[in-house]
């Protein structure tokens, strides 16, 4: 994120001699593109890319096409900032990438233009704010994990076998006729899981387990 801010401020504004390229986006069935595309056409865009996203389809394919279409000296124009990006960090990343490629950026609603000193300053503030938010989230996550650990909360994935299941599996040591396979089916775990949590079974019962397991396989049990 800091690199993105440097990219926005560090270089001289590109000389914009290319085309104005528009991008519009709607995210629900109720929204229509007409108003956005009319605004982009009025701004002088010669080509407009538009995404219609739904709950099942969230890929911004047209934005990808727009980014591929843009050349150095062009300007990407959007009706508003929220039509381009889903988050502040996303916005800063996209605009920084445009700047690295010598492409300008304008947002009509907010009257932002990255080729002007004022526009670049605004995006530098955006980048700093996005970095600040990211650090707050990371810090909050670490503090939350530490507090949970202090309360005795077990972190990470739950164990494949509960202590009660492990005790049941260990009971095999005192039941000569039982097998690891039958116990695994009863506990709804795999044989390898039982051996992982009760490793002594592998050495304590090899002579009994192997013939029994073979018999189960032959009978389909």
Q: pLDDT per residue over 118-168, tens digit each?
A: 877 887 787 777 676 767 676 666 666 666 667 766 666 666 778 877 887
Per-residue confidence band for 45, with pLDDT thresholds at 50, 70 and 90: very high
Mean pLDDT of 200-219: 53
Using CA atoms, how far apart are residues 166 and 33, in angstroms rounded to an integer? 60
pLDDT for 173 = 61
Domains of the chain: 2-134 (3.40.50.1390), 163-219 (no CATH)
What's the CA gap between 150 and 83, in Å, rounded? 43
CA–CA separation, 4 vs 216, rounded Å?
Answer: 63
Report pLDDT digits (tens) over 53-94: 765 556 789 999 999 999 999 999 999 988 998 888 888 889
Q: What is the pLDDT of residue 157?
A: 66
Predicted pLDDT of residue 65: 95
pLDDT of residue 32: 78
Residues belonging to the chain: 221
The helix/strand/coil state of 104 is: strand
By percentage, how much of the chain surpasses pLDDT 70? 65
Is a pLDDT exceeding 60 seen at residue 219? no
Q: Given CA atoms 167, 170, 171, 177 in this order, what sign does their dihedral have?
A: positive
The predicted structure's pLDDT at residue 143: 64
The catalytic residue positions are 27
Phi, psi of 193 (to 5 degrees): -65, -40
């Amino acid at each position: 994120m800091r690199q993105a801010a440097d990219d926005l401020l560090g270089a001289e504004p590109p000389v914009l001699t290319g085309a104005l390229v528009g991008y519009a986006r709607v995210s629900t069935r109720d929204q229509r593109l007409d108003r956005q595309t009319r605004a982009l056409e009025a701004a002088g865009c010669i080509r407009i890319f538009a995404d219609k996203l739904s709950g099942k389809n969230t890929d911004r394919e047209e934005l990808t096409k727009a980014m591929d279409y843009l050349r150095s000296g062009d300007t990407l124009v959007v009706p508003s900032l929220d039509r381009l990006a889903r988050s502040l960090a996303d916005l800063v990343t996209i605009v920084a990438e445009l700047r690295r490629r010598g492409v300008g950026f304008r947002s009509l609603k907010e009257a932002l233009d990255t080729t002007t000193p004022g526009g670049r300053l605004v995006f530098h503030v955006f980048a700093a704010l996005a970095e600040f938010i990211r650090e707050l989230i990371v810090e909050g996550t670490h503090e939350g994990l530490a507090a949970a650990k202090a309360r005795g909360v077990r972190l990470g994935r739950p164990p494949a076998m509960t202590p009660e299941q492990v005790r049941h599996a260990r009971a095999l040591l005192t039941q000569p006729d039982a097998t690891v396979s039958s116990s695994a089916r009863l506990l709804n775990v795999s044989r390898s899981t039982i051996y992982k949590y009760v490793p002594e079974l592998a050495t304590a019962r090899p002579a009994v387990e192997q013939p029994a397991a073979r018999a189960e396989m032959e009978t389909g049990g």
